[in-house]
Structure 1
Amino acid sequence: RRQDVLPNSDFLVHFYLVMHLGLTSEDQDILNTIIRHCPPRFFSLGFPGFSMLVGDFITAAARVLSTDMLTAPRSEAVTVLGSLVCFPNTYQEIPLLQSVPDVNEAITGTEDVKHYLINILLKNATEEPNEYARCIAVCSLGVWICEELAQCTSHPQVKEAINVIGVTLKFPNKIVAQVACDVLQLLVSYWEKLQMFETSLPRKMAEILVATIAFLLPSAEYSSVETDKKFIVSLLLCLLDWCMALPVSVLLHPVSTAVLEEQHSARAPLLDYIYRVLHCCVCGSSTYTQQSHYTLTLADLSSTDYTPFLPLANVKSSEPVQYHSSAELGNLLTVEEEKKRRSLELIPLTARMVMAHLVNHLGHYPLSGGPAILHSLVSENHDNAHVEGSELSSEVFRSPNLQLFVFNDSTLISYLQTPTEGLAGGSPVGCLSDVRVIVRDISGKYSWDGKVLYGPLEGCLAPNGRNPSFLVSSWHHDTFGPQKDSSQVEEGDDVLDKLLENIGHTSPECLLPSQLNLNEPSLPPCGMNYDQEKEIIEVILRQNAQEDEYIQSHNFDSAMKVTSQGQPSPVEPQGPFYFCRLLLDDLGMNSWDRRKNFHLLKKNSKLLRELKNLDSRQCRETHKIAVFYIAEGQEDKCSILSNERGSQAYEDFVAGLGWEVDLSTHCGFMGGLQRNGSTGQTAPYYATSTVEVIFHVSTRMPSDSDDSLTKKLRHLGNDEVHIVWSEHSRDYRRGIIPTAFGDVSIIIYPMKNHMFFIAITKKPEVPFFGPLFDGAIVSGKLLPSLVCATCINASRAVKCLIPLYQSFYEERALYLEAIIQNHREVMTFEDFAAQVFSPSPSYSLSGTD
């Protein structure tokens, strides 16, 4: 444990000698005792010369892990190894009291130590029989990959570590597989570093997830074990994070595999395979079993750098024993039945959400409003000239320009016709009304504005004042060869004769069967003599003279004159729902074929309440994390909560957790913080397109009165996950901050070498989570991102213990299902068409009745 006074050098010399003799002893019991009772805390004490024992600890841990003794401290040995993964990059030279295996020199550089250390972790990540130790080994590899990527070392074993993690995803033990999935999710934030390491690595990550989902789906969708289905959900959400992080160009890159190289026509882009596996999750894995290479397989991933069928040794599962009190047994059966019912729909529902998320946000997130805004804040009352209130109320249902629909029994769609905004200069001519479409589905709420455009685009005329008809004429001339311009025809020439000659030359198919040119007179008909021809000409001339005489005699007769036809003046449609109806017709929604999938909603007060309730639901996974700062010597609640600032290292760490947001204007998840400044002016906030995290930082909240301290403790104490930054010389005790919550505490102890020791305490029922583990030691570069990822996973682990806990999209799906079942209007096609033509027939155009 930590010492208040640093031991003198003579004591340390004797201590190191005893440790060296014990760690190099041939007696296995001595090794087991030292590894069990000398945790990684030893490295955090910062004793002078402690790094001399690093090699001894690695060798001793390897010997413990190689033994078959049942009492061997395997978890402690892997923890020791995992705590050292950042040391080789921190220390340029690590002097060793003895040489590590395969190294002849007594004092060696860091590369030999790193190579030896990582080889042991790689072996134990695939062969370790202890479940907890296997999880720590996988987490250690994840931390090491992040360390190598952050330091840009281009270590060749990074690919090997990624291979082990990717293969672990299909491991039968779902606790170990979930840890591997969490590591892959952590690497999303390092995708640019991975791309610098090797261009194809980020794309390879997505391919691994797609192939693994396709491999596990057939057994998971019919499995009666809930964890099998939940793990597929974790893989789907991890795949979604990778899709949202990678550039669209990477997702559109064709997938190249040894099998598909032989079939160039089958080389579809990666995004295509992603949608295919999502479609299989929705419709069932057996839907496309007869179609070859419909989805990626594990065999398709095989290459010189990746072995998809790397052998993995089994582990001894330690399923937690669940105890239920007599009071809980009465409700247990009902809960289990409900969980079973929901689990059957979990995989298809998650896949639907992922597809909707990709359609709406891929390439669009974050929007100009910032990452805190994901869904639309627009409602049916906004920009509605027929509604006066600023809040969504029953008044909107009487609007003649609004209609609400249900599409595919899964999506609510509102069509609203709004007055158009002023058209910018150079814009095409448009109508005086816009169409707004508000969509509510399991992934969120979205709003789209549309406009009917017509007329020429200003500024798009041909150069030199040439009109489009001349352009078309010029195109034909260029196609059929050089021709004489019509403007160059000399005066007196027969233009029609030239045109007929040109047609016959360029289009021989237009020539007559006689093969004469079109401008040449035809041969006289057979059997007609000169007298007959003369008589016909006289009759024609006589008829022409009679017609001229008749026209002259009736020249002033008004009945003989034709009135000129004028151009009709444009008429603006007067219907308040006309353009919405036009859009619906263009989309084919007014047809009889769509009636089974497209319905109206009953407009009443109950629907209004449920719409408001649906809009208040989150569209992302949300977490709130408490952050405490403990200065040197602080051991009571009041002194800790009274801190208004921390050390520079602490402030740098908090700044790395997320970005500061102004609580008075923040549009994202608040986590219970107030906009009036009573809980502080700002707070660190972190968000992706799928997750929101707000940090309740004790030094950001006011502590100028007893009431402020009480409010601060209430906010911080109610969080399930606590981050404690302790600069005290003694270990943090959980009881210092009294709270019924705080299921997980992640304590950070700064070390003298600018590294950080991590201690994690949790309630016994909370399952394992990573990537950080109890006893990890990381560099300052990795600390914020690893702590943030660990807090998110810890919060998920706590929430999964809540009976019938639902994710945000499960909640939205249930609310949508209730709205559709209770408020879908059943009516004939004629009534439906009437409601689409006029949503509110009793509403007068003037709006006064």
Structure 2
Amino acid sequence: MGGEKFSNKTVALVASDILHLLINYVDDLQKFPPDTPKKIVEILIATVTHLLPTTESSPHEPDKRLVVSLLLCLLDWVMALPPKTLLQPVQTLSPHKDKPDKSILSCIYKVLHGCVYGAQNFNSPRYFPMNLSDLTSPDYDPFLLLESLKEPEPLHSPDSERSSKLQPVTEVRSRIQHGLISIAARTVITHLVNHLGHYPMSGGPATLTSHVCENMDNPYSESPDLAPELFDGPNLQFFVLNGTTLLSCLQIRAEDGVPGGGMSAGLTTTSACVRVIVRDISGKHSWDSAVLYGPPHCGAPNQPLNLYKEGEEEGALELMAPQAKRVCREVVPSWDSLLEDDVLDEMLQYLGYSSPECLQRAGAPLNIPAPPPVCVSEKQENEVINAILKQCAEERDFAVHRGNGLNMRAVEQGEPEPHRPQSAFYYCRLLLNILGMNSWEKRSNFHLLKKNEKLLRELKNLDSRQCRETHKIAVFYVAEGQEDKHSILSNTSGSQAYEDFVSGLGWEVNLTSHCGFMGGLQRNKSTGLTTPYFATSTVEVMFHVSTRMPPDSDDSLTKKLRHLGNDEVHIVWSEHSRDYRRGIIPTEFGDVLIIIYPMKNRMYSIHILKKPEVPFFGPLFDGAIVDEKILPTMVRATALNASRALKSLIPLYQNFYEERARYLETIVQHHLEPTTFEDYAARVFCPAPYHHHLSDPDHNLSLVYI
């Protein structure tokens, strides 16, 4: 572990590779000293913290590449450890009594924060991860003096065959080197946020990011790919966030016939949902969201709610007022108890009984007509009665003939109908507003993208780029007595030891349905049906195994040689009594040959042949003797490091995350559209002029757009 801070960068990189190899045995490491994986992560954090201040100011690329290697090693260790280990506190020599112990995960993000924004952030105790001195123990001395070795001279010249293919440009190389550590740290942060505890996903280890595009489930697009017709749809808008992340907001239909549109667990929601497609340095991610109004009964407001459980309704009806004719005169009359009775007569009778002091004459109920006044003659009384009866008849006649007119009835208060949004981008606009993206304060970080065909081409190009490190490695089987390419390539199987070795390199995948890195192999079974494949959250390896490819004809052998011979790293399992020679498989590539010779007692001899310009790599070396149990893991790790060493020879070579970050930066520079707040608001309200969608004229996404 002390080799990580070794002054010889080659030795330090090999130490980092060895730590990478130990990730495969993380479960075994926890069986001995239980805190060994935790200690390794702490050492990586402290080493990066120690090296970063001097590395930032160093003009040498190997210094920066070493820190990048340590960051990627740290990433793989964090992804391999369980959450309970990452949340354990870090023990320091001088703990602060007033502050709680920092967790490992907290220190990880602090050191990544310093790598992104500069080592000067470590001057603040709030952002300082940990010191090397904090790790001092009887078993580990971080300040152990190491022998100083001179950095070796490069074995290849700038005029070598590989370097002459593309001469490096000093200015471009300087620009690439400038942000190496920052880009790597940003990649590690986004990778941890997106994939920590979320890998492998349900789609298997071959799936890391989303394959959903803007044209899928889009009612305004019939193209199977990203096409210019997307720009004419009123339900899609493209944005850029913080100058590093591309966002696509798309309003689509909810799934018909499924409660809540299929994603709201039956809760009341809308008939449309919002799909957000995010493209950042770690890959592409897609999310569907919907407005949730409440429990299922909220969707039928016209139906009365059932407030009683089953069996309780009959008991509740008994508590209601009876519907029979009213008999008791001692109880105040209710409207429901009087069917055809004179309501005024009943009320007067009740008042006379309950309040005798209101009687005009003792014993005479109030509902009995009073005697005529003394001052009114019988004739006058009859005239008054006739006038009242005439008025009553006229009112009754008016009510019969004109009482049903609209101007004679009170207007019924109806329940408002649900509002159907007239915008095909309404719910997207609502989501953006809830997230605060439409605010004035976000204008400096949230912008529109120009819609043109060049943007679509660059989005398709971005989606086609791998979000992990990818390698393709050839595997050959050489039986006893085979010394020519025809006999070697004609093998369809090998010995049991060989088959066990191949099965240890990776797991078998069906090429017809494999959704990960293909390594040039075909899905039409012309290059075989299955092949070994290995993947983590940061790397994919496709093994081109000669015994898995069909040798039916000379054409098949030629195609097999094309796939195997074009690989730069060859693993050769040789059971022949004579040593394997480089020229047996004629190819311009095959710069590194890892040859395995079976020995007695299930031991294997390793011979490594490489061209002179290839840098040193490990963990296996020429002449190593390896046990059968760890052979596949060691050979795979050596082949990966050999492939990385070969790629480092390519002038201006960029890692997958560097390439993706630069490409995202280019898209933002070329297509970001500066707008005023008013223009931005108008484009969010109306992404494109509305056009009628013939396939679904009644759907809420196809209403008149204003």
Q: Is the 8 A contact 2:647 2:653 kept in 1?
A: yes
2:450 aligned partner, one-letter code: K
Q: 2:603 aligned with 1:755, yes or no?
A: yes
Q: Is the 8 A contact 1:426 1:457 kept in 2?
A: no
Other-structure match for 2:132: 298
For 2:268, what is the secondary structure of its paired residue? coil
Among 594, 599, 604, the alignment partner of 2:442 is 594
Among 499, 502, 512, the alignment partner of 1:654 is 502
Other-structure match for 1:258: 93
Q: 2:427 aligned with 1:579, yes or no?
A: yes
Structure 1, unaligned runs of 5 or more? 1-165, 460-464, 468-555
Greater shift after overlay, 422-431 or 820-829? 422-431
Post-superposition CA distance 1:519-555 (Å, at most 9, x none):
xxxxxxxxxxxxxxxxxxxxxxxxxxxxxxxxxxxxx
Other-structure match for 1:529: none
Among 595, 606, 610, the alignment partner of 2:454 is 606
Q: 2:151 aligned with 1:317, yes or no?
A: yes
1:181-330 aligned at under 5 Å gives the runs 181-260=16-95, 262-263=96-97, 265-291=99-125, 294-325=128-159
Other-structure match for 2:176: 342
For 1:438, what is the secondary structure of its paired residue? strand
Q: Following the alignment from structure 1 to structure 2, what is the Cα–Cα distance between the partners of residues 408 and 780?
A: 51
Q: Is the 8 A contact 1:206 1:243 kept in 2?
A: yes
1:128-143 aligned at under 5 Å gives the runs none
Q: 2:452 aligned with 1:452, yes or no?
A: no
Identity level (%): 61
1:363-762 aligned at under 5 Å gives the runs 363-421=197-255, 422-423=258-259, 427-456=266-295, 567-762=415-610
Q: Following the alignment from structure 1 to structure 2, what is the Cα–Cα distance between the partners of residues 212 and 458?
A: 59
Post-superposition CA distance 1:227-277 (Å, at most 9, x none):
0001111011111101111112221222222323x4362412211111111
Q: Following the alignment from structure 1 to structure 2, what is the Cα–Cα distance between the partners of residues 740 and 387?
A: 46
Greater share of helix = 1
For 1:196, what is the secondary structure of its paired residue? coil
For 1:739, what is the secondary structure of its paired residue? coil
Q: Is the 8 A contact 1:628 1:698 kept in 2?
A: yes
Aligned-residue CA RMSD in angstroms?
A: 2.6
Other-structure match for 1:550: none
Q: Is the 8 A contact 2:568 2:590 kept in 1?
A: yes
Q: Is the 8 A contact 1:353 1:442 kept in 2?
A: yes
Q: Is the 8 A contact 1:631 1:728 kept in 2?
A: yes
Q: Is the 8 A contact 2:168 2:651 kept in 1?
A: no
Q: Is the 8 A contact 1:426 1:458 kept in 2?
A: no
Q: Following the alignment from structure 1 to structure 2, what is the Cα–Cα distance between the partners of residues 327 and 202?
A: 43
Q: 1:792: Cα distance to partner?
A: 0.5
2:229 aligned partner, one-letter code: E
For 2:601, what is the secondary structure of its paired residue? coil
Q: Is the 8 A contact 1:435 1:451 kept in 2?
A: yes
Give the direction of change, closer, same or farther, for the CA distance of 1:641–1:224 in structure 2 (3 Å limit).
Answer: same
For 2:269, what is the secondary structure of its paired residue? coil
Q: Following the alignment from structure 2 to structure 1, what is the Cα–Cα distance between the partners of residues 163 and 36?
A: 50
Q: Following the alignment from structure 2 to structure 1, what is the Cα–Cα distance between the partners of residues 590 and 409?
A: 96
1:382 aligned partner, one-letter code: M
Q: 1:333: Cα distance to partner?
A: 8.1
Q: Following the alignment from structure 1 to structure 2, what is the Cα–Cα distance between the partners of residues 617 and 347?
A: 21
For 2:197, what is the secondary structure of its paired residue? coil
Structure 2, unaligned runs of 5 or more? 299-306, 310-398
Q: Following the alignment from structure 1 to structure 2, what is the Cα–Cα distance between the partners of residues 747 and 717?
A: 15
Aligned residues: 591
Other-structure match for 2:194: 360
Q: Following the alignment from structure 2 to structure 1, what is the Cα–Cα distance between the partners of residues 438 and 128?
A: 35
For 1:753, what is the secondary structure of its paired residue? helix
For 1:732, what is the secondary structure of its paired residue? coil
Q: 1:565: Cα distance to partner?
A: 5.6
Q: Following the alignment from structure 1 to structure 2, what is the Cα–Cα distance between the partners of residues 775 and 329?
A: 29
Q: 1:173: Cα distance to partner?
A: 0.7
Q: 1:466: Cα distance to partner?
A: 10
Post-superposition CA distance 1:578-607 (Å, at most 9, x none):
111111011111011111111111111111
Among 671, 685, 688, the alignment partner of 1:823 is 671
Q: Is the 8 A contact 2:494 2:547 kept in 1?
A: yes
Q: Is the 8 A contact 1:206 1:239 kept in 2?
A: yes
Q: Following the alignment from structure 1 to structure 2, what is the Cα–Cα distance between the partners of residues 171 and 688?
A: 28
Post-superposition CA distance 1:664-702 (Å, at most 9, x none):
111111111111111111110000000000000000011
Q: Is the 8 A contact 1:427 1:458 kept in 2?
A: no
For 1:265, what is the secondary structure of its paired residue? coil
Name the larger-Rg structure.
2
Q: Following the alignment from structure 2 to structure 1, what is the Cα–Cα distance between the partners of residues 24 and 466?
A: 23
For 1:387, what is the secondary structure of its paired residue? coil
1:843 aligned partner, one-letter code: H
Give the direction of change, closer, same or farther, for the CA distance of 1:354–1:292 in structure 2 (3 Å limit).
Answer: closer
Q: 2:626 aligned with 1:792, yes or no?
A: no
Q: 1:296: Cα distance to partner?
A: 1.4
Give the direction of change, closer, same or farther, for the CA distance of 1:810–1:253 in structure 2 (3 Å limit).
Answer: same
2:221 aligned partner, one-letter code: V
Post-superposition CA distance 1:271-329 (Å, at most 9, x none):
11111111111100002313267211111112233221222111233222543349999
Q: Following the alignment from structure 2 to structure 1, what is the Cα–Cα distance between the partners of residues 70 and 55?
A: 12
Q: 1:766: Cα distance to partner?
A: 0.8
Q: Is the 8 A contact 2:252 2:273 kept in 1?
A: yes
For 2:89, what is the secondary structure of its paired residue? coil
2:292 aligned partner, one-letter code: L
Q: 1:843: Cα distance to partner?
A: 3.0
